[in-house]
Amino acid sequence: MDLFDAHYDQVSLLVPMNSHLGTPTWADFSKSARALSPAGTPRFASYYANSRKDGLWVTYFNGGSSLTLPDNANVANFGTGDFTVELRLALHDGGHGSAWPRILETNDYPNPGGWGLVGSASENPGRLRFDLSDGAPLLITQSALTNLTDYHVAITRAAGQLRLFLDGVLQGALASAHDFSANRFRMGSNLNPSPGEYFKGWVRDLRITPGVARYTADFTPPVVNSFYRGPEVVSRTLPQTLASAFRFGQLGEPTEQTKGIQALRRVAPNPQIGRGVVVRNVALGYQAGDRTVALSGTTKVKALPADLPVARPVRLYRNDTGALVAETQSSVDGSYTFQGLSLDQRYFVVAFDPTHLHRAVVADHLTAERIP
């Protein structure tokens, strides 16, 4: 999976729904920049999914909450054409705040023209269904989803063939000429005037792409949905050969307050990542009792008489595996923030300069240090 999305311009809704981006709202990073309105108490909460151990905080629906777009937002008006709907989720209590929990819905029952990603009845553990808004089932996962486990879910239609994927594995397919022209959208409950059928669980990385069927056969799911566009092809995993090439210095005893940054210069051995990388050891201060820490930094380019701040793609990697955890874009003043970092992990932050052949301009090696 590329770091850049060749179909970004077609994306109608792109909501990371995690706390690493430092935003208190459920921001849409598509070109339309819509805002989802909360009802009840959807919130950022620790992701207790068994397969996630990097401290990621994502949106939790407690079985009585939802997120809604205004009618006519035009995010899921596919007509009879191709499309892709994808997200990551973890079920809590089978996903049931109510029976038939609505994870996504575009019209209220029994009105036609919409679709829903729905939990099956009251099963626990439960399966997922892709249904018409009039209640007719179309596709269902082949087996139940384990509670508290991270899954990638995707629904696509390509040339009249509808498909449902779970973790990149095809669950079912059927011919579909359905006209999905309903122009409403809600997460976490149904769209009835008196909402119900609430979902219980975690959701992140929602992406909707009208006109594009991203997946038509088994695939490896993306770790994070990119909200950058461009032709760059860079691995989503920082190669171990790159990580092991850097010799990181120590900043002192675990209880010593950070007094500065030690910089080491090395050449990245992998040309996909960059010609030269500046690596800094950064200690993140935290007080006793804190569960997580946050990282704020600045991206700059070399200039005289002083370096100039620039907006650049910035990505957070785990130090032990090199796996991509999250990504953001620094602002025009160069500032960026990742929040909810686990005290049990070490991370890289790499800022990429796509104007210079995939050059990584800075990497921060992060270690949590307690402030007495």
- Model confidence pLDDT, tens digit, residues 241-299: 333 322 222 222 232 222 222 222 232 333 333 333 444 445 555 555 566 667 777 77
Structure confidence at residue 174 (pLDDT): 97
What own/partner pairs with CB < 8 Å and gap ≥ 24 does 42-48 have?
42/66, 42/67, 42/188, 44/18, 44/19, 44/340, 45/202, 47/90, 47/150, 47/202, 47/204, 48/90, 48/148, 48/202
More confident residue, 295 or 74: 74
CA dist 358 and 251 (Å) reads 30
Q: How far is CA 360 from the centre of its chain?
A: 22
**pLDDT tens-digit map of 181-220:** 998 999 999 999 889 999 999 998 899 999 999 999 999 9
Instruction: Take residue 38 and report the two structure tokens written for it.
Output: 């909360």
Residue 297: the pLDDT is 74
pLDDT band at 230 (very low <50, low <70, confident <90, very high): very low
For 25, the token pair is 């709202």
Omega of the bond leading into 305 within 30 degrees of 0 (cis): yes
- The better pLDDT of the pair 306, 222 is held by 222
Tokens linked to 184 = 């409403």
Domain 8-210 classification at class level: mainly beta
Give me 53's structure tokens: 């151990």
Taking a C-beta distance cutoff of 8 angstroms, is the pair 172, 157 a contact?
no
Distance CA 54, CA 348 (A): 12
Render pLDDT for 117-140 as a digit per residue (tens, 0 to 9): 999 888 999 999 999 998 899 999
The confidence score (pLDDT) of residue 314 equals: 76
Query: Beta 347-353 vs 262-266: how paired, if at all?
Result: unpaired
Which residues neighbour 29 within 8 Å (Cβ) at sequence distance 6 or greater?
A: 14, 15, 16, 227
- pLDDT score, position 252: 29
Specify the pLDDT at position 353: 55
Q: What is the DSSP string of 193-227?
A: SS----EEEEEEEEEEEET----SS--PPPSS---
The architecture in CATH of the region 240-370 reads: Sandwich (2.60)
| Confidence at residue 233, expressed as pLDDT on a 0 to 100 scale | 34
Res 17: pLDDT: 80
* Residues near 139 by beta carbon (within 8 Å), at least 6 away in sequence: 129, 130, 155, 162, 163, 164, 171, 172, 173, 174
Distances (CA, A) of 323 to 167, 169, 326, 348: 17, 21, 9, 10
> What mean pLDDT is reported for the chain?
74
- Cβ proximity of 203 and 16 under 8 Å: no
Higher pLDDT, 264 or 9: 9
Average pLDDT over residues 91-118: 93
The model carries a pTM of 0.67
Q: What is the DSSP string of 238-271?
A: --HHHHHH--PPP-S-TTSPP---EEEEE--S-T
Length reported for the chain: 372
Phi-psi region of 124 (alpha: psi -120 to 50; beta: other; left: phi over 0): beta
Going from N- to C-terminal start, the domains of the chain cover 8-210, 240-370
Q: How far apart are CA 29 and CA 113, in angstroms?
A: 26
Are the folds of 8-210 and 240-370 the same?
no
**Can you give the pLDDT at residue 119?**
94
Of residues 328 and 225, more confidently modeled: 328
What is the model's pLDDT at position 284? 54
